[in-house]
Amino acid sequence: MSNAHNNDVIVVGGGVAGLAAAVALAGAGAKVTLLERRPYIGGRAYSYEHPAIEETIDSQHVVLGCCTNILDLCQQAGMAGSIRWYDELTFLEPNGRRSVLRSGSLPAPAHRAVSFLRAPMLNLRDKAGIATGMARFLRGYPVSDSESFATWLKRTGQTDRAIRHFWEPIIVGTLNDTFERCSLKYAGKVFHESFLRSAEAGRLGIPAAPLSEFFTPVADHAQRKGVDLQFRAGVDRIEQTPDKRWLVHSGSESYATSSIILATAFKQTQELLASLELSTESNARRSADFEKFIAAPITTIHLWYDRDITDLDHAVLLDTRIQWMFAKSRIRRWPAQRGSYLELVISASWPELKMSREQILASALEEIELFFPMIRQAKLLKSGVLKEARATFSVVPGLDAFRPHQATQWPGLYLAGDWTATEWPSTMEGAVRSGRMAAGAVTGDTGRFMAAETPASGWMRWLSRI
């Protein structure tokens, strides 16, 4: 082991959480090495060149105005302009009918009320039930995560159409699971933060570049801060020395450090922690805790046409397996002669994991034509299907009790990742928060690097308790 491999902090994992932790600590003056097993950064928020079609694809990630920590990180890295912002959300029915939710002149929480009342996708009874349900989130959302969203929908008497045309596309699209496996706490958080708190908090931001390219400025920013970023450096095991320092073993290399942040997925974290000596009882308890985490899949279908087939940059698709359409050629401002590129997103896509790519593509092409009949005049040039079996984790009821805090029972060992105790679901914002919280725990102040929350506006300044 060389003295050159002595560090103040080793961050294991170059995903969004690891990058956030490394930037924060390096900015505070620490000597940081970041070890990433892949040849690129971003973790699950990545893009790659599809070898068969020679196109760069990813699974679309979005941010909201309430995602203050990732937006602050983007601002620090000089990439805030790489996000395309939208103030309205379009819901499409298979017959082509549009319902647009947009902010108006009324103060929050009524800023979308006028467009909501005009939305043809719902009738008056549907809207009354939704309004009554949303009123329960005015002051916040439950502290406990014990109840499922499915139970709440039944308890509040939501109509079938309100569920299909409002609650389902939003919750399945954001939390990536069924109502039974989404806790009311995090469903309530989605609606409180993005629909009620303020118009600014609910703005939709979409990266205007492939994700690896999008996050490259963050990696560059980290290196300017002095972070030693090592690619293809997978960590085999960690060990604590008799003097309470740490050794991180990566292939033939070993790194000595006083602090480690494991910014890895829960399965990899479980494997690395298993190498530490604990009692049989402690190992069994820790293993049982990790088993509470469920990975949830997302499937995306990528379509390239010879022309534009819609005037929308994005839309929520109703009464179909597909929750979202992103016209990435429009979001990325392609010239018209380049044609169009659509990404279709199927959240909670367990059935698709068992289907062939040909079956998924055929079903998607049949469904998308119902929403965009102009496709019949367009030529499909290329297509691809991306299955991500472990895209997110499910915020199942009761999971909060098993989400670990950033500081562990081992002095000098910290955890990061959207699955840790962040009070957020599985999002890029949750990942950045976890990284910054872990960095703060290293310095003795968990909140040291956290960005301020988006303030409530309008009437919500008095109504909201959060």
Tokens of 290: 């990790």
What mean pLDDT is predicted for residues 73-86?
Answer: 95
Given this model, what pLDDT does residue 280 score?
53
What mean pLDDT is predicted for residues 196-200?
Answer: 96
% of the chain at pLDDT higher than 70: 97
**Helix or strand (DSSP H, E) at 405:** none
Given this model, what pLDDT does residue 226 score?
96
Given this model, what pLDDT does residue 245 score?
92
% of the chain at pLDDT higher than 90: 88
Burial tier of 294 (Cβ tally within 10 Å: 0-12, 13-18, 19+): middle
Mean pLDDT lowest among 36-45, 345-354, 385-394: 36-45
Contact between 192 and 141 under an 8 Å Cβ cutoff? The reply is yes
Q: pLDDT band at 54, cuts 50/70/90?
A: confident
**Helix or strand (DSSP H, E) at 39:** none
Given this model, what pLDDT does residue 45 score?
85
Q: Which has the closest alpha carbon to 390: 419, 423, 416?
A: 419
Please write the tens of the pLDDT for every residue from 393-405: 999 999 999 999 9
Given this model, what pLDDT does residue 2 score?
43
Q: Which has the closest alpha carbon to 264: 8, 35, 6, 442?
A: 35
Given this model, what pLDDT does residue 275 score?
79
Locus of tokens 């301020």: 452
Please write the tens of the pLDDT for every residue from 269-328: 999 998 786 655 566 677 788 999 999 999 999 999 999 999 999 999 999 999 999 999
Tokens of 194: 């993005």
What mean pLDDT is predicted for residues 238-249?
Answer: 92
CA–CA separation, 412 and 276 (whole Å): 13
Residue 341, C-beta contacts closer than 8 angstroms, at least 6 positions apart: 55, 302, 303, 304, 305, 327, 328, 329, 332, 334
Please write the tens of the pLDDT for every residue from 357-375: 999 999 999 999 999 999 9
Question: Span 101-200: which CATH code?
Answer: 1.10.405
Q: pLDDT band at 52, cuts 50/70/90?
A: confident
Q: For residue 266, is pLDDT > 50?
A: yes
User: What is the SS3 string spanning 238-297?
Assistant: EEECCCCCEEEEECCEEEEEEEEEECCCHHHHHHHHCCCCCCHHHHHHHHHHHCCCCEEE
Q: pLDDT band at 465, cuts 50/70/90?
A: confident
What mean pLDDT is predicted for residues 49-56?
Answer: 86
Contact between 261 and 416 under an 8 Å Cβ cutoff? The reply is yes
DSSP 3-state percent helix, strand, coil across the chain (nearest 5): 35, 25, 40
Given this model, what pLDDT does residue 281 score?
57
Contact between 181 and 145 under an 8 Å Cβ cutoff? The reply is no
Backbone angles phi and psi of 421, in degrees to 5: -75, 90
Tokens of 284: 């069994």
User: What is the SS3 string spanning 67-86?
Assistant: CHHHHHHHHHCCCHHHEEEE
Q: For residue 236, is pLDDT > 90?
A: yes
Helix, coil or strand: residue 49: strand
Please write the tens of the pLDDT for every residue from 137-185: 999 999 999 999 999 999 999 999 999 999 999 999 999 999 999 999 9
For the chain, residues classed under CATH 3.50.50.60 are: 3-47+210-292+397-443
Please write the tens of the pLDDT for every residue from 89-144: 999 999 899 999 999 999 999 999 999 999 999 999 999 999 999 999 999 999 99
Contact between 116 and 91 under an 8 Å Cβ cutoff? The reply is no
Contact between 316 and 89 under an 8 Å Cβ cutoff? The reply is yes
For the chain, residues classed under CATH 3.90.660.10 are: 295-393
Please write the tens of the pLDDT for every residue from 1-48: 444 467 899 999 999 999 999 999 999 999 999 999 998 888 888 888
CA–CA separation, 72 and 432 (whole Å): 10
What mean pLDDT is predicted for residues 237-253?
Answer: 92
Given this model, what pLDDT does residue 3 score?
40
CATH fold for the domain made of 3-47+210-292+397-443: FAD/NAD(P)-binding domain (3.50.50)
Given this model, what pLDDT does residue 265 score?
94
Tokens of 134: 């949303």
User: The domain 295-393 is classified under which CATH number: 3.40.50.11900, 3.40.50.720, 3.90.660.10, 3.40.50.970?
Assistant: 3.90.660.10
Q: pLDDT band at 49, cuts 50/70/90?
A: confident
Mean pLDDT of the chain: 94
For the chain, residues classed under CATH 1.10.405 are: 101-200
